[in-house]
Amino acid sequence: MITNGYSGLAAFAAILQIALGVVVVWFGIRALRQRAASNPCVADEADAESSYYFRFVVGLTLCGVVIAAWPLFYLVLQSYVGQWPGVMCIDGVVRIGASSANSASHLPGLVAFMEISKPALVFLAGSWLVVHLLMQSQRGGRLQRVSVATMLTFGLLGVLDGAAEGAYLVIPKQEQALATGCCTVDSQESVFANAGPREPSGRGPLTVAFVAACAWVAFWVTASIRRIRMSQAAGYRLALAAVGAAALIPLGAIYLREVAAPLFLQLPYHQCAYCLVGVAPEALVAVGLFSLATFAVGWAVIARGLDRSNQAIALPLLRFARFGFLATLLMLGVRMATA
Amino acid sequence: MRARGLALEVTALVVIALLPAFADLVRGSTSRCAQDGVAVDSNYAVYARYEGDVELEFCGVSCADLWMRRSGKPAIAVEVTDCVDGHRFAARNAHFVKIYVDWRESVPDPIRVFASREEALAHIREFGGELLVGPRRPLGTASDLRWDRASGDR
């Protein structure tokens, strides 16, 4: 185990995440059992109310922990750079253990799992919060089943992710080594496999596709905002924004590696998004805003899908999404202009 | 109230948009290797010039060699830095020595570059290592190969 400030903090966050996740899952199961029994008596009302607030506080704390754990995970990986000869950035760290036969062979798989589970958890945290706020505003408990299902999924994934993080931190890895440096692997799947002299300014078909997709989503989000503000159904406009946002997730990931990372690193031939953490951390603001804007569209769709009359939740989310996409595009524009 | 919100949003957008320019000012200009992104030490730098007046900088011979093999496009000119006095000269005139001592703490790779063959051999006698010749010689370009064949070095 490599111990430093970041890994200590990450270990604490992982333990907290597992503990809170277990409590959240337990609350979810208890709520399901209560629904199955379906004989609430008046004497239990006070108990139910205190349990409701406790559940909310635990869920909210878990939201905070999973949101903090996402960037912390990359800071931990960045802090491991330099532990092995030939490892220049996180790309080398995530490949440690790939050729190992012992427990370290699980390290690349654990990292791959957490790279998906961490953003998924942030999305689930937001979804749970949206459902919870909707349920509170309705007072009828119509959304209780949805809330319990979201809570159970959130809690379960939280436990799994916390366990994966804990395992990653604990598995011995210092005696492992890369067969070649992280930038000198000969695999065709290497991040540099497609490297070759290209347009250094970042202008190309992938940029056009990315900018067009962002503009598409921002346009339909703005159209949805107008409709919702006038208390009208956003209908197909919000659906088109959601389709665009869903398409932007894979497109954004490819664009980040192929174009945005070389652009922000000012190394037109260096396609490694991980290097942004150490060399150009300002790009992470764009990555964070873009991710949250994409999620916000999804949260707004959930809010409107569950309660068409509710404006208080969907409107700020859509406004934030529009802001996030515009900020990402502006930042890219400035970077391209100054590259 | 709405105008205030809009003003705040526009201000935040401007601040975020200017972040890259501000980060450039704070960071200053550090040359980074086109292959692995590490900071380039001018004592070991390798420069490759491509068509369209594009010059790439590499932290060492290994990175430059790997880049050229991967990119598949021949460089118009390749220049290396003499590890004795730090001057830039054509790679086709260089003598490459692979050292065997632990190099990781101080230099970017195990290949040292010498402008003079005598100095390269003297370095090998003193510290050990081998002269890289024939197919093991790094940074080969089409023009280098012609030069090497003409001189009978390969």
Comparing A65-69, A235-239, A324-328, the range with the smallest average pLDDT is A235-239
Q: How far is B47 from chain A (nearest CA, A)?
A: 14
Judged by DSSP in three states, A230 sits in coil
Question: Cα A294–A297–A302 angle (5° rounding)?
Answer: 130
Task: Please give the C-alpha separations between residue B87 and each of B42, B79, B82, B113, B114, in angstroms, as whole numbers.
Answer: 10, 10, 5, 11, 10
Q: Which of A192, A197, A331 sits opposite B54 (nearest CB)?
A: A197
- Per CB-CB distance under 8 Å, the chain B contacts of A201 are none
Predicted confidence band at A184 (pLDDT cuts at 50, 70, 90)? low
The neighbouring-strand residues paired with B88 are B81
Judged by DSSP in three states, A309 sits in coil
Judged by DSSP in three states, B136 sits in helix
Render the burial of B132-148: b for 16+ CB within 10 Å, e for the rest: beeeebbbbbebbeeeb
Output the 3-class SS for A268-289.
CCCCCCCHHHHHCCCHHHHHHH
CA dihedral A315, A316, A322, A323 (to 10 degrees): 160
Pick A233 or B154 by higher pLDDT: A233
DSSP code per residue over A61-98 = HHHHHHHHHHHHHHHHHHHHTTSSTT--SHHHHTTTTT
Pick B143 or A91 by higher pLDDT: A91
- Per CB-CB distance under 8 Å, the chain A contacts of B32 are 265-267, 270, 279
What is the structure's pLDDT at A191? 40
Residues A329, A64: Cα–Cα separation, whole Å: 28
Q: Is the pLDDT confidence value at A88 over 80? A: no
The neighbouring-strand residues paired with B113 are B96
Pick B13 or A195 by higher pLDDT: B13
Task: Please give the C-alpha separations between residue A248 and each of A209, A213, A295, B99, in angstroms, as whole numbers.
Answer: 10, 7, 11, 49
Give me the amino acid identity at A152: L
ipTM of the complex: 0.73
Best mean pLDDT range from A103-107, A212-216, B98-102: A212-216
Q: Which of A192, A280, A335 sits opposite B70 (nearest CB)?
A: A192
Best mean pLDDT range from A120-124, A198-202, A268-272: A120-124
* Span A77-95, average pLDDT: 84
* Span A250-269, average pLDDT: 86
Predicted confidence band at B113 (pLDDT cuts at 50, 70, 90)? very high
pLDDT digits (tens, 9 = 90+) for A140-162: 567 888 888 999 999 999 999 99
Q: How far is B27 from chain A (nearest CA, A)?
A: 9
Q: How far is B35 from chain A (nearest CA, A)?
A: 6
Predicted confidence band at A48 (pLDDT cuts at 50, 70, 90)? low
> Where does residue A82 fall: left (phi above 0), alpha (psi -120 to 50 degrees), or beta otherwise?
left
Residue percentage of chain B with pLDDT more than 70: 84
A199 touches chain B (CB under 8 A): no
Helix (H) or strand (E) holding B96: strand B95-98
Residues A70, A87: Cα–Cα separation, whole Å: 22
Residues A280, A338: Cα–Cα separation, whole Å: 14
Q: Is the pLDDT confidence value at A13 over 90? A: yes
* Span A289-308, average pLDDT: 92
What is the structure's pLDDT at A180? 56
Give me the amino acid identity at B50: Y
What is the structure's pLDDT at A77? 93
Residue A19: closest CA among A159, A134, A166 = A159
B17 touches chain A (CB under 8 A): yes
What is the structure's pLDDT at B152? 38
B64 touches chain A (CB under 8 A): no
**Residue A147 structure tokens:** 């809330």
Residue A301: closest CA among A251, A210, A235 = A235
Interface contact B13-A323, CB threshold 8 A: yes
| Domain boundaries along the sequence of chain B | 1-29, 31-151
Predicted confidence band at A71 (pLDDT cuts at 50, 70, 90)? very high
Q: Over chain A, what is the mean pLDDT? A: 84
**Residue in A closest to B9 by C-alpha:** A323
* Span A168-176, average pLDDT: 84
* Span A117-136, average pLDDT: 93
* Span A14-33, average pLDDT: 91
What is the structure's pLDDT at B147? 37
Helix (H) or strand (E) holding B111: strand B111-114
